[in-house]
Amino acid sequence: MAELPIVDSSNNQVGTVPAVPEIFEVPVREHLVQKYVAMQLAKRRRGTACTKSNYGQLSGSGKKPWRQKGTGRARHGKTRSAIWRGGLTIFGPTPRDYSFKMTKKTKTLALKSILTERARNDAICVIDKIELEQPKTKEAVKLLEALGLPERTLFLLDQRNENLELAVRNLPDTDVLLLDGLNAFDLLVHEKIVFTAEALKKVEGRLNG
């Protein structure tokens, strides 16, 4: 079983933690990962696009514009048909819900696949604890530099850390996430994933539960 190093806020190794093979050494199911991300993005779609697709939504007369025969012009029943300006829209968008669901089992397999891929690419860091003296951006920048982390970093915590949350607010690519919000999109969009040692233990328990 492989191990992940645990570092302190100065990037000094203070221990190791076993990388549970059921989470960090599983077959990567790319189709499930793709479906999970698609599900998340679909839920964000507002689905409010709307076109007038029935006569009841239109203003204007339904009167026949001219008599059927004898004018030399093409016959028409009303000026609100789809071929007239101001008429119906055929097959246009209407308000809808784009969301769909995945089973708990498939979401868990997708998350395990992502964590396996991230571990293989050395994109996971485990820190013993995170303590900032003040909730200031410079403190967050100092922590990122000390740990050698890129700006696009995700901190995964087992409990609220108000100083850290406030400190990274002005860093557009750095985010803090509690374990309850663990999801595929955030794990993929960030270059580095930083777990606290306690958070990693709880993630392993949750995904193997």
* pLDDT, tens digit (0-9, with 9 covering 90-100), for 142-172: 999 999 999 999 999 999 999 999 999 999 9
Torsion 165-169-173-177 (CA) sign: positive
Compute CA 108 distance to the chain's CA centroid, rounded to the nearest angstrom: 15
What is 3-45+101-208's CATH superfamily? Ribosomal protein L4/L1 (3.40.1370.10)
pLDDT tens digits, 14-52: 989 888 999 999 999 999 999 999 999 999 999 999 999
Map out the domains of the chain as residue ranges: 3-45+101-208, 51-97
Label residue 61 by pLDDT band (50, 70, 90). Answer: confident
How far is the C-alpha of 142 from the C-alpha of 42, rounded, in Å? 36
- Model pTM? 0.83
The helix or strand, by DSSP H or E, that contains position 155, with its residue range, turns out to be strand 153-157
Q: Read off the pLDDT of each residue in 103-109 and give the average, rounded to a whole number.
A: 96
Per the structure block, which two tokens stand in for 55?
């006569």
What pLDDT does 62 receive? 87
Query: How confident is the model at residue 3, as a pLDDT?
Result: 86
Under DSSP, is residue 153 helix (H, G, I), strand (E, B) or coil?
Answer: strand
DSSP state of 65: S
Amino acid, res. 121: N
Span 76-96, average pLDDT: 92
Please work out, in degrees rounded to the nearest 5, the angle formed at the alpha carbon of residue 97 by the alpha carbons of 38 and 108: 35
Per-residue burial over 41-56, b = 16 or more CB atoms within 10 Å of its CB, e = otherwise = eeeeeeeeeeebbeee
